Amino acid sequence: MLASVTVRAPAKVNLALGVGPLREDGFHGLATVFHAVGLYDDLVATPLPTGSGIQLHVAGEGASEVPLDGTNLAWRAVEALVPYGGSHDVSLAIRKGIPVAGGMAGGSADAAAALVAVDALFGLGLGRETLMDVGAELGSDVPFSIHGGTAVGRDRGTELTTAMVRGTFHWVFVLAEEGLSTPAVYRETDRLRAGQPVPEPEVPAELMSALRAGDPVALGKALRNDLQTGAVSLRPLLAQVLSIGEEYGALGGVVSGSGPTCAFLARDDEHALDLAVAFTASGVCRTVRRAVGPVAGAKVVDQRAAG
């Protein structure tokens, strides 16, 4: 057994998020394109003496809003691996760099990080496919947080196919004062669509070809999110954020997942910096972050041998 394992897990943005009708199991069928971006949560896992149980520490941005009990997704990830040879006796120290309740899969990143860390710490040798299957039971975004890169997600967002992408894209993320609840945004989307036919969602072909070509201008035009209208309905300020992005010359802008973070695509690093400065000056947001994508999924970045 190792003395400690450190795992870094990325945030995501949905470049396209097609949402089908509400299913009987309470979920919606999705056709989405996940894209992992370079905002990270870091998790350090350390084994504890037998009988200690799970100990959880959370630091960093928004840490006070993160639960420290058995509802925390990282805690649940540790429990999920006990039947596979893991242990309840683990300390997890999480440093959050992903906005909490921001639509960027922060909790899912922590679950993914905990799965990868416990697998390495106890030498379970489960492999990423098994970890993704276990992760799907914890949350719909968890398999992608392990997968990373850019991938098409179907079913609940859990059936992943790697997408072909050329080059790197430069993003600006505009963070809100307060988070939005994912189930509330899905509910609002259903409410606004009530009485209208909802087709089975599809991944836009023009978005996939923009990714293959590494063409940011075409990608900017192809960004889509069926949850955006619902998120804007719950948080009208987001309409202003999106129109400021357009005014300042972003190649495209979209609400990230269930929001309220908004993602804007820039031509290059310099353009991203200009956009970030303009958003900061506009006063419509809490803070602004720049990041590139795609980046790798949850991975071990440090491990210490015992003794």
Ligand X SMILES: Nc1ncnc2c1ncn2[C@@H]1O[C@H](COP(=O)(O)OP(=O)(O)OP(=O)(O)O)[C@@H](O)[C@H]1O
The annotation places the binding site for ATP at 99-109
- Give the integer Cα–Cα distance in Å for 5 and 26: 36
Give me the least distance between CB of 101 and ligand X, in Å please. Answer: 4
Binding-site sequence positions? 99-109
Is 96 annotated as catalytic?
A: no
- Point out the residue whose Cβ comes nearest to ligand X: 107
Indicate the Cα dihedral angle 285, 251, 243, 238, nearest 10°: -50
Among 4, 6, 87, 140, binds ligand CDM (CB under 6 A): 140
CB atoms inside a 10 Å sphere around CB 84: 16
| Total site size for ligand X, rule CB under 6 A | 22
For 92, half-sphere exposure in the C-beta direction (CA atoms, 13 angstrom radius) is 34
- Which residue type does 167 have? G
Q: Is 105 within 8 Å of 11 (Cβ atoms)?
A: yes
- E strand residue ranges, 61-168: 90-96, 150-155, 159-162
**Strands (DSSP E) found in the chain:** 2-22, 28-47, 55-60, 90-96, 150-155, 159-162, 169-175, 224-225, 252-255, 262-266, 287-293, 299-305
75 binds ligand CDM (CB under 6 A): no
**Of the residues 42, 110, 119, 141, which is catalytic?**
141
Residue 102 in contact with residue 260, Cβ under 8 Å? Answer: yes
Please pick, among 12, 41, 42, 110, the residue that the annotation labels catalytic.
12
User: What part of residues 180-239 is at the interface with ligand CDM (CB under 6 A)?
Assistant: 182-183, 186
- Binding of residue 157 to ligand X (CB under 6 A): no
Which of ligand X, ligand CDM, none sits in contact with 28, Cβ below 5 to 8 A by type?
ligand CDM
Determine whether 12 is an active site residue.
yes
When binding is defined by CB under 6 A, the residue of 4, 6, 14, 261 that contacts ligand CDM is: 14
Stretch that binds ligand CDM, among 60-68, 119-127, 135-143, 280-288 (CB under 6 A): 135-143
Query: Pick from 230, 258, 290, 298: which binds ligand X (CB under 6 A)?
Result: 258
Distance CA 283, CA 242 (A): 13
Structure tokens, 198: 């909802």
Size of the site for ligand CDM (CB under 6 A): 19
Asked if 61 interacts with ligand X (CB under 6 A), we say no
Q: Closest approach of Cβ 123 to ligand X, in Å? A: 24
Which residue ranges make up the site for ligand X (CB under 6 A)? Answer: 65-67, 71-74, 100-108, 110, 141, 179, 182, 257-258
